[in-house]
Structure formats: structure tokens, C-alpha cells
């Protein structure tokens, strides 16, 4: 699967740029634009995103609780609830600008995966060969894994979050306006969006590359190909990190979860708020946007209910990735239709390179989903 990081990078980076452009040009998020352009599809789109986000959020919290339970005595569900409450309170209490800074610094914990890769024996020749010369398969197992990998990189919640954050920038920075109202700002803003997005996505895929690489060198090399608990994964890491295996694994799971949970809850709340005409901004105090913040809390609480099901946390994370991959396809088609429409974007319809790569991304995701469905039936 290392090859997927090379292929997905230009697709995911271009698509995130497209979503950012929609938010910046129109001054509205994805749901807000769907409401104006395709009102009959609005509630279906929002329902898909909220459902996928809640399940993904719950899987993250469940895995975080299990990871914490490796290090500390007690109940894993209690730790999950703790992390959920902390995530909600952070969004309620911290001002938007400070909150975003904390999220950015938190990404540094992801480099633990890079360090882990250089701490174990890896056949770099084989790794590079498999990166540039992929071994493909049309088996159901391979296609499920492929859609799961794509679902974590080209993911619906990121579409909504990216567009909504551009709307936040317009609201919170004095003098900035939606580009349809202030076209003279376009050159500067598009250059910023492009630089920020392509750098961020490059770092994202770099981390993902090392996660795949380290997994192959530890879990798969140990014969552990079906991981159902955090304890199993930590035990497989013992040859790599010794007694620190549990800490290394917990750091990765908790760190990525603390990054993902507020984004998942926030993007769902943005979608709901735009659909239902609620005031929505992380810059506002909870008293000034009660329904928006209530949606954040409700989505987190619904996600936490996953802790009381029989689904194990590792499988839940995997299923969440597959669900995101399947949900992404119709949303990508809808986003491309809006981004290439003059009724939505005015004179800022997508340039040719983004049209080509955007439709290529939607087509690639769709092809994998169709292949999975056909293989599943057989």
C-alpha cells in the first residue's frame, strides 16, 4: 500500500484546494452552497457526512480509551469519555485562533511514526520498490484495504472542514471578504491556499507513508495480520520499542485522536448549522452560537455511544475509514459540479488543472468503490 501515498497526494491536495476555493470565493461552506444550488440534495448530503463523522469520531474515541488503558489502570470506556469531554471543552473554552494553534502544534506527535520506522529493521530496497512499482490485486481484501486508505486521505469531513475554515478566516480577519465581493484579494488568497494546502497534504502523506511502513515491518513481519485490540498491537511493537511499546502505540493513537475528534465534530456541526441556518463559528462564544456548539457536543456524545457496542476499537477505526471512502464519491461529484459552476463561483470557476485533477480524483475513488461492490457480490 505504500504506492497509494504517491498516487493520493496530488488527488487529495487538489481536492482540498478545490474545497478551500469554494469557501473563500462564496463565503459559505459546502453545505451552504449545496443548499443554494441543490436544495433537494441538502439533507441527504448533510446526513451522510454527519453519520460518517459520528461513527469515525466514536471509533477514534474508543481507540483512544483502549490506548490509554494500556498505560493506566481503570476502564477504557471511562478514558474515552474523558477524551471526549476534553475535546468538547477545548472547543467551548478556547478562542478560535488559539484553538487552531494548539491543533497545529499537536501534529508534531505524528512524527513518532517516522522515528519508529528508523528504529526497526526495514528493507529499504523493498520499500522503495513497492512504492514505485505497485503490486495490485482485484481481491476483495485488497480493495477493502485500498478504499480504507483512500477514505482516510480523501475524506468527506476534510472537505467540509477545509471550506468552513476559509469561511472562518473571512469572518475573523478584518478587511477580508468572500472573493465574489472582493475579487482584488483573489491572487493573494489563492496563493496562500495553494501553499498551505499542498504543504499540509505533503506532511500528511509523509506521516501516512511511515505508518504503513512501520506497520509492515512490525505487525505484519510478526505474523499479526488481524489486530482486534490495542494490546495486540502494542505487543507486536515490543521487539521495536521494548517496554516502551505500549507508550509508543498509545502516543500515536491518542495524538491522532486529539487531532481528529474536534475536526470531525466541528465539520459535522458546520454542515448541520448551514443546513438549518444556525449561527456557526468557533470564534463565537457558546452563548452566541448555542445550536452550533450543541451540535458539537451531541455529535461527540453520539460517537461515545460506540463504546457500549460489541465492535472492537481497531475494527471500528478500519470500518470508519471504509465508510468515509464510500461516502466521499457522491460528495466529490457534487463538489466538482459546484466548483465548475459560474452560478456558484462567478468568474472564479476552477482553472483547467484543478478541473482535470478534481474529476480524476472523483473517478479514481468511484472506480475503487465500483470494483469493491462487484468483487463483494462475487
Return the pLDDT at 29: 92
Return the pLDDT at 361: 94
Q: How high does pLDDT run on average in the chain? A: 86
Neighbours of 281 (CB within 10 A): 17
Percent of the chain with pLDDT over 70: 95
Q: Alpha-carbon distance 69 to 71, whole Å?
A: 5
Alpha helix positions (H), the chain: 3-26, 30-37, 42-71, 76-93, 96-106, 112-117, 124-132, 140-153, 156-172, 186-215, 230-236, 238-241, 245-276, 290-304, 313-339, 342-345, 352-377
Asked if the model's pLDDT at residue 245 lies above 90, the reply is no
Return the pLDDT at 18: 96
Return the C-alpha cell found at 275. Answer: 443546513
Which of 245-249, 304-308, 331-335, 349-353 has the weakest average pLDDT?
Answer: 245-249
CB 10 within 8 Å of CB 360: no
CB 20 within 8 Å of CB 193: yes
pLDDT tens string 118-172: 777 788 898 999 999 988 888 888 899 899 999 888 888 899 989 998 998 888 7
Q: Alpha-carbon distance 301 to 57, whole Å?
A: 10
Q: Alpha-carbon distance 75 to 54, whole Å?
A: 22
Rounded to 10 degrees, the C-alpha dihedral 73/74/76/78 comes to -140
Return the pLDDT at 377: 67
Return the pLDDT at 308: 80
Q: Alpha-carbon distance 112 to 110, whole Å?
A: 5
Q: N- to C-terminal Cα distance for the chain? A: 23
Asked if the model's pLDDT at residue 241 lies above 90, the reply is no
> Could you write out the DSSP letters of every residue in 43-97?
HHHHHHHHHHHHHHHHHHHHHHHHHHHHHSSS-HHHHHHHHHHHHHHHHHHS-HH
Q: Alpha-carbon distance 144 to 135, whole Å?
A: 15
Asked if the model's pLDDT at residue 355 lies above 90, the reply is yes
The pLDDT-based confidence of 22 (bands split at 50, 70, 90) is: very high
Return the pLDDT at 31: 92
Asked if the model's pLDDT at residue 234 lies above 80, the reply is no
Asked if the model's pLDDT at residue 295 lies above 90, the reply is yes
The pLDDT-based confidence of 96 (bands split at 50, 70, 90) is: low
- Tell me how many degrees the CA angle 222-259-142 measures, rounded to the nearest 5: 40
Asked if the model's pLDDT at residue 231 lies above 80, the reply is no
Return the pLDDT at 152: 86
Return the pLDDT at 301: 93
pLDDT tens string 167-201: 988 887 777 889 988 899 989 999 999 999 999 89
Neighbours of 257 (CB within 10 A): 26
pLDDT tens string 299-334: 999 999 887 877 777 788 888 888 888 889 999 999
pLDDT tens string 56-65: 898 889 888 8
pTM to 2 decimal places: 0.87
Which of 1-5, 319-323, 359-363 has the weakest average pLDDT?
Answer: 319-323
DSSP state of 328: H
Return the pLDDT at 170: 84
Note the Cα 160 to chain centre separation in Å: 10
Helices 30-37 and 3-26, packing angle to 10 deg: 60
Neighbours of 74 (CB within 10 A): 11
Hey, what domains does the chain have and what are their CATH numbers? 3-377 (1.20.1740.10)
Q: Alpha-carbon distance 94 to 283, whole Å?
A: 9
Q: Alpha-carbon distance 155 to 152, whole Å?
A: 6
Return the pLDDT at 24: 95
The pLDDT-based confidence of 352 (bands split at 50, 70, 90) is: very high
Residues 6+ apart with CB under 8 A from 333: 362, 366
The pLDDT-based confidence of 294 (bands split at 50, 70, 90) is: very high
Q: Alpha-carbon distance 91 to 180, whole Å?
A: 30
Amino acid at each position: 500500500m505504500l504506492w497509494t501515498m504517491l498516487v493520493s497526494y496530488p488527488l487529495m491536495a487538489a481536492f482540498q484546494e478545490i474545497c478551500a476555493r469554494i469557501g473563500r470565493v462564496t463565503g459559505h461552506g459546502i453545505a451552504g452552497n449545496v443548499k443554494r444550488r441543490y436544495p433537494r440534495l441538502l439533507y441527504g448530503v448533510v446526513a451522510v457526512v454527519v453519520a460518517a463523522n459520528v461513527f469515525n469520531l466514536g471509533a477514534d474515541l474508543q481507540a483512544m480509551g483502549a490506548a490509554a488503558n494500556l498505560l493506566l489502570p481503570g476502564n477504557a470506556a471511562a478514558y474515552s469519555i474523558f477524551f471526549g469531554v476534553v475535546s468538547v471543552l477545548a472547543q467551548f473554552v478556547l478562542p478560535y485562533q488559539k484553538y487552531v494553534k494548539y491543533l497545529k502544534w499537536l501534529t508534531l506527535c505524528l512524527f513518532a511514526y517516522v522515528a519508529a520506522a528508523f528504529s526497526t529493521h526495514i528493507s529499504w530496497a523493498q520499500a522503495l520498490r513497492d512504492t514505485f512499482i505497485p503490486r495490485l490485486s482485484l481481491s476483495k481484501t485488497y480493495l477493502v484495504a485500498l478504499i480504507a486508505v483512500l477514505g482516510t486521505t480523501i475524506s468527506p469531513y476534510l472537505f467540509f472542514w477545509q471550506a468552513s475554515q476559509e469561511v472562518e478566516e473571512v469572518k475573523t480577519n478584518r478587511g477580508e471578504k468572500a472573493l465574489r465581493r472582493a475579487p482584488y484579494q483573489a491572487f493573494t488568497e489563492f496563493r496562500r491556499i495553494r501553499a498551505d494546502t499542498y504543504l499540509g497534504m505533503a506532511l500528511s502523506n509523509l506521516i501516512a507513508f511511515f505508518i504503513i511502513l512501520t506497520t509492515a515491518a512490525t505487525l505484519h513481519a510478526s505474523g499479526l495480520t488481524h489486530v482486534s485490540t490495542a494490546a495486540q498491537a502494542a505487543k507486536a511493537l515490543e521487539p521495536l520499542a521494548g517496554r516502551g511499546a505500549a507508550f509508543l502505540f498509545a502516543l500515536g493513537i491518542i495524538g491522532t485522536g486529539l487531532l481528529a475528534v474536534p475536526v470531525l465534530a466541528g465539520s459535522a456541526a458546520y454542515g448541520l448549522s448551514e443546513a438549518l441556518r444556525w449561527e456557526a463559528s468557533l470564534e463565537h462564544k457558546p452563548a452566541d452560537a448555542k445550536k452550533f456548539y450543541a451540535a458539537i457536543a451531541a455529535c461527540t456524545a453520539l460517537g461515545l455511544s460506540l463504546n457500549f457496542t460489541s465492535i472492537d476499537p481497531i475494527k471500528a477505526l478500519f470500518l470508519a475509514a471504509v465508510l468515509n471512502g464510500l461516502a466521499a464519491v457522491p460528495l466529490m461529484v457534487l463538489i466538482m459540479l459546484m466548483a465548475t459552476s459560474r452560478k456558484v463561483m462567478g468568474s472564479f470557476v476552477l482553472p483547467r488543472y484543478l478541473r482535470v485533477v478534481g474529476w480524476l480524483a472523483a473517478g479514481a475513488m468511484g472506480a475503487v468503490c465500483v470494483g469493491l461492490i462487484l468483487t463483494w457480490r462475487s
